[in-house]
Amino acid sequence: MKANKLTPNFEVKNIRKTVEFYQTALGFSLIMAVPETQDGIEQSFANDKEYVYALVNKDNVEIMFQRTESFKRDVLFAKELPIAASVSFYIEVDGIDGFYELIKGKGLNPTELKTAWYGMREFYLKDNNGYILGFAEKISEK
């Protein structure tokens, strides 16, 4: 087996609100969305539709969002689990200091920006569904 990439699929309550959070707070772009009718794929949200799935990306990071009832139907192991189980999603970025100030300016209450013992400058925050997102930049060696 050859592994090609990892794209997390987050169970969420509301696709549109989740995508809006990732767009406005973190700078992600909507790639595709699937309406409740599941009769096609759309590249933008229509005002008169609800959605069960969306894919967003920013640079080399992709994240899928799937509405709760659809997610629990497709991923049987998650049937009795709450949203945002004990896992964090760790995203390496460039320009951590400026990004941290931007996040703080949006009132998202991140943890303190600090340098970890393993050489990463990092902080964490929760998204609008309770998922923990970590952002980190490797410290340059002098």
Stated length of the chain? 142
- From CA 65, how far away is CA 82, in angstroms rounded? 15
* This prediction's pTM: 0.84
Query: Helix, strand or coil for residue 102?
Result: helix
Q: Is the pLDDT confidence value at 86 over 80?
A: no
Q: Is the pLDDT confidence value at 33 over 70?
A: yes
User: What CATH number should be reported for the domain whose range is 1-80?
Assistant: 3.10.180.10
Q: What average pLDDT does the chain have? A: 91
**Two tokens at 92?**
């390496």
Select the highest-mean-pLDDT range: 3-7, 73-77, 118-122. Answer: 118-122
Q: Where are the alpha helices (DSSP H) in 1-142?
A: 15-26, 68-74, 96-105
Place of tokens 């699937």: 34
pLDDT attached to residue 73:
86
| Single-letter code of the amino acid located at 73 | R
Q: What is the 3-state secondary structure (H, E, C) of 72-83?
A: HHHCHHHCCCCC
* CB-CB neighbours of 1 under 10 Å: 3
Per-domain boundaries in the chain: 1-80, 84-142
- Given 4.10.410.60, 3.30.230.10, 3.30.720.110, 3.10.20.440, which CATH number is that of 84-142? 3.30.720.110
